[in-house]
Amino acid sequence: MITPRPAAVGLVMLAAAIVPAQPAHADIFKYVDKNGHVYLTDRPNHPGYKLLVKTWKGWTESRGRIDFRRVELNRKRFGPAIRQIAREYQLPDALLHAVIKAESYYDPNAVSRAGAVGLMQLMPGTAQRYGVRDRRDPLANMHGGSRYLRDLLGMFNNNVVLALAAYNAGENAVIQNGYKIPPYSETRTYVKKVLQFYRENRTQVM
């Protein structure tokens, strides 16, 4: 049984503050207009942009389009619940927002190629572990994901970086790699992305 540490909030904030400075790794989006001109940006301003993802073949467009108007609507829609759940599990709501954005862009119906589902992209095993019967239920999904994140912070002494790496790759992968971020490009990119979103969220009113 994983025993969470009681002072999670202060230590999480401290851990994020002492993460070594790293260059920003914003998401990159691509848009091709009717004349064939290609535009790249990290701040898309209309739904015609497509997210670029890095694969072993290089950068490629994601399969689905992200409707950024819907992202903002869902961020506001789930904002009160995120604040309440973050308080219940002693997590900064800015961190919870960052994980949800990185995992699903606030889409409660998101499904990954690996079979993860919902706002916090719960795998079947994780959902079962935390008693989540319907992974598409936004509240149940966030409760399960938040409990898992809280327990990971307890397991890794409130080290945000390792907790995020474990959320993406599993706690055993972090442990087996000597309590370091596993050498998976996806996990390293994921951790940087969430930390970036976390820093941005802390300067905004959520």
CA angle, corner 92, sides to 104 and 110, nearest 5?
10
CA atoms of 11 and 149, how far apart (whole Å): 14
| pLDDT at position 54 | 53
Distance (Å, whole) CA 146 – CA 144: 5
Where are the domains positioned within the chain? Answer: 8-21+75-202
Q: What's the CA gap between 63 and 75, in Å, rounded?
A: 22
Question: What is the rounded (10 degree) CA torsion for 161, 163, 164, 166?
Answer: 120
Q: Which residues are catalytic?
A: 103
Residue 69 is predicted with a pLDDT of 80
Main-chain dihedrals φ then ψ at residue 81, nearest 5 degrees: -65, -40
8-21+75-202 has CATH 1.10.390.10 classification: no
Q: Which residues of the chain have pLDDT under 70?
A: 1-27, 43-66, 205-206
Residues whose CB falls within 8 Å of the CB of residue 14, separated by 6 or more in sequence, listed in order: 158
Q: Are the beta carbons of 95 and 160 closer than 8 angstroms?
A: yes
